[in-house]
Amino acid sequence: MRSRDGNRHFTRRLCSIIFLLFFPLALSAGEYLISYKYIVKDATLYNETLFISQSMKKCSGTPQRELFLSTNGENDLKKIIAQNSAEFLEYIHKLGLHVAYNDVTSNLQNSSTTTLTLRTTCFKVDFNDTFVTIAPLR
């Protein structure tokens, strides 16, 4: 037997097919949470960490000054940033880093620790064929 609306099942199938086709396209441009920490202990690099994760919910704010990085055929944001690390580090230094400095002298020996931190910041990231655009949201 057919229902009164004979095209109901066809409409549901069509909507699910459209959703499956366009959902991956929406994921290629998105928002990522990025944080960075750089620790120098006694004038020697002690630790450097970069954390990147895709945002689970929409971030608020307007995109600020953009950074363009070449992708070299890569789709993973962490690998793209690793390939262009000098440009990315210079860019986040201009955004502003939190600086913590600790200097201790005991028994005539000096020990110092400097920590540069980019607090977790939401970035809008757009992937294209040959480059990726990264802009912080503020």
Parse the chain into domains and list their residue ranges.
Answer: 28-136
96's CB contacts (< 8 A; 6+ apart) are none
Handedness of CA 71, 88, 81, 67 (dihedral sign): negative
pLDDT (tens digit per residue) in 72-119: 888 899 999 999 999 999 999 998 899 999 999 999 999 999 999 999
Residue 124: CB atoms within 10 Å: 20
Query: Are the beta carbons of 133 and 66 closer than 8 angstroms?
Result: yes
Sign for the CA dihedral angle at 84, 90, 96, 100 comes to positive
pTM reported for the whole predicted model: 0.72
- Does residue 30 have a pLDDT over 80? yes
